Amino acid sequence: AGGAIAAADLVLQGREKRACALVRPPGHHSMRFVHGARGFCLVNNEAVMVEHIRHKLGPKTKIAIVDTDVHHGDGTQDIYYNDPYVLHISLHQDGRTLYPGTGFMDERGGPGAYGLTVNVPLPPGTGDEGLLFVVEKLVLPILKDWKPDLIINGAGQDNHFTDPLANMEVTAQGYARLTELLQPDIVVLEGGYSVEGALPYVNVGILLALAGLDYTRVVEPDLARKRLHQSQAVTDHIAWLADELGEMWSRRAAADLEALFGRGDYFQRKRHIYYDTAGISEVQTGRIRLCSRCAGWELVESHSDRYPAATVAVLLPWNVCTSCRAEALAAYEEYCRADRAERIVLIDPMQDKMFEFTN
């Protein structure tokens, strides 16, 4: 996360036009609650960096995160699912065929930010042609319409045709061209597990494209014998995805939020989360305040099969309204008095503070 912050500061201070953070471990599977490692991730590097940027540029800074890792960025999605100032676009292999099994088209954001989560579940066998088609026909028009102040690319490199953990056919040239099209302000390395066959070439391609230099001679030595070919069925499905998601984006303002999230005071949900790397099982229950003046404060109860067994978090949104702040503080104080959890925290991002009570 420190490397990502350092890259961001280079851009924010005007020392560089663009920057890239080659950091490990990756972070986009780490959610707001972190009981252990998930998908090789411990800390969400991009999210830590985004919060740093917001404190530098102001609470209403609009930030777009375009995650091009082959695995759905479920952690980053979790953190910004109800944040109206962060657009999260994830291009990944279809969750029906790959970890973490999420990232479907109907995952579109919470009541305070509906439509600002865009998931593009690409079919196995997607190559340069399909990935770049989605960027040109869907991602770039969305960015042009939303007009972010900063674009961040979570540059996972496991879409590469040599990656042992996925089923895609993207090349270093495809990654470089994606970078050239996207023109991200900051690139943060995510996953990628073909250490010799992919990462040296993909990283060089991305860095050259980021610097505006010629990348056409970056070619993997075994590319010629692979004879990569994206099938017509894959091509047709990707075209359908781009059309459908484009329509969903254009109609997002007309969504019936009451039908989606109810007419009461809160939207409630329950989730089961498995930490594959650490072998931890977690159950989360929570509620989001349905508020017309801000994104609404949240309360999350987390129970895992490791200590602490029960944790409660009260989460204030950026630009919280007076009413939600008062309700959230009252809820925090009530939980502290009730002795219902081993650990209770209140997080206020505007003040960059966390308050903690332990029983």
CATH number of the domain within which 190 lies: 3.40.800.20
pLDDT tens digits for range 4-52: 999 999 999 999 999 999 999 999 999 998 999 999 999 999 999 999 9
Q: Find the domain containing 77 and state its range.
A: 2-254
Domain boundary among 254, 273, 307: 254
Tell me, yes or no, whether 311 and 205 share the same domain: no
Given 254, 285, 301, which residue is the final one in a domain? 254
Asked if the structure places residue 91 within a domain, the reply is: yes
Domain count, the chain: 2
Do 247 and 278 lie in one domain? The reply is: no
Q: Are residues 330 and 185 in the same domain?
A: no
* Within a domain: 214: yes
* Same domain for 218 and 76: yes
Strand partners, 66: 89, 153
Distances (CA, A) of 10 to 3, 13, 23, 146, 284: 11, 6, 16, 24, 37
Domain co-membership, 133 together with 172: yes
Q: Are strands 280-289 and 266-275 parallel, antiparallel or unpaired?
A: antiparallel
Q: Which residues contact 41 (CB under 8 A, 6 or more apart)?
A: 25, 26, 27, 28, 29, 30, 75, 277
Residues 281 and 156 in one domain: no
Q: What is the pLDDT of residue 226?
A: 84
Assess whether 41 and 165 both reside in one domain. Answer: yes
**The tokens of 166 are what?**
């996925």
* Among candidate residues 203, 234, 254, the one where a domain is terminated: 254
Kindly give the pairing relationship between strand 19-21 and strand 63-67: unpaired
What is the bridge-based pairing of β-strands 353-358 and 343-348?
antiparallel
Is 29 among the catalytic positions?
yes
Look at residue 14 and tell me if it is in a domain. Answer: yes
Is residue 259 assigned to a domain? no
Cα torsion at 301, 303, 306, 309 (round to 10°)?
Answer: 70
Q: Are residues 249 and 294 in the same domain?
A: no
Do residues 88 and 202 share a domain? Answer: yes
pTM reported for the whole predicted model: 0.96
Same-domain status, 276 and 218: no
Clarify whether residues 315 and 288 are in a common domain: yes
141: preceding bond cis by omega (within 30 degrees): no
Q: What is the pLDDT of residue 306?
A: 82
Sheet holding 310-315, edge to edge: 266-275, 280-289, 298-304, 310-315, 343-348, 353-358
Same domain, 168 and 37: yes
Is 29 within a domain?
A: yes
> Catalytic residue among 28, 29, 71, 92, which?
29
All residue ranges of the chain with pLDDT < 50 are none
Quickly count: other Cβ atoms within 10 Å of residue 129's Cβ. 16
